Amino acid sequence: MDLNLDSFFHTVISMSNVDHFTMKEVSVGFCCLTKTEHFELSEIERKVSGYVKKLLKKGQLEESSIANNKFKTYKKTRLFYDSNDITKTRAWLLTEFIKDCRAQRARFIFEMFEYDKALEVYSKSYANSHDLEEIMKPAHELLKNKSSLLKNKIGIIEQLIELYNREVLLVLKSDY
C-alpha cells in the first residue's frame, strides 16, 4: 500500500523559515519531522518531486536555478500563502493525518489476518501429524509473535486516532 505523504511534505514546505528550498531539503525535513526509517531517501525524494510538481502546476511555487548550484530551488508564491491560510491548513493536515493513520491501520489489519490464517494452517497441521510439530514450532512461534506485534501496533494507532480526535475537538472548541 502506497501511503500519501503529501501532508507531511506540505507541513515542511509551509514552515515559515522554509523558502528558497531544494527537493533534497524537503526530503531531509520530512525525515526529521517523522523520524522515519521505513523509506529510502531516494523514494522520499521521488515523492517530494511529485508533490513539488503539483505545487508548480498550481502556481504556488516558482522554480529558479542558481548558476553555480546543480539543484533547482523553489520559492513560495503569494498564491501559496493565499491558498494555505492557517485555518485551511490546520483542517487539511488533520484530515490527512487521520487518513494516513487509517491507511496504516488497514494495512496492519490485513497483515495480521494473513498471519492469523497461516497460524490456523499450522494448527491444523499439528492436529494431523504430531511429527511435524517440532519442525514447525519455530515458524509457528514467529507467526504468533508477528501477529501479536501487529495487534499492538493496531492498538497504538487506534489510541493515536482517538487522542488526535479529542485534541481536534479541543482545538475546534477553543477557536469558537
Q: Where along the chain do its domains lie? A: 6-83, 86-175
Instruction: Dump the DSSP string for the chain.
Output: -----HHHHHHHHHSTT--SB-HHHHHHHHHHHHT--SS-HHHHHHHHHHHHHHHHHTTSEEEEE-TT-SSEEEEE-HHHHHHT-HHHHHHHHHHHHHHHHHHHHHHHHHHHHHHHHHHHHHHHHHHH-THHHHHHHHHHHHHHHHHHHHHHHHHHHHHHHHHHHHHHHHHHHHH-
Confidence at residue 44, expressed as pLDDT on a 0 to 100 scale: 80
Which class would CATH give 6-83? mainly alpha
Report the amino acid identity of residue 93: L
The predicted structure's pLDDT at residue 176: 45
User: What is residue 171's predicted lDDT score, i.e. its pLDDT?
Assistant: 58
Ordered per-residue pLDDT tens for the chain, 176 residues: 345 667 677 777 777 667 778 888 877 777 766 665 566 777 888 888 888 898 889 888 888 876 566 778 888 888 887 776 655 666 666 777 788 888 888 989 999 899 889 888 888 887 777 777 778 788 888 888 999 999 999 999 999 888 877 776 665 555 54
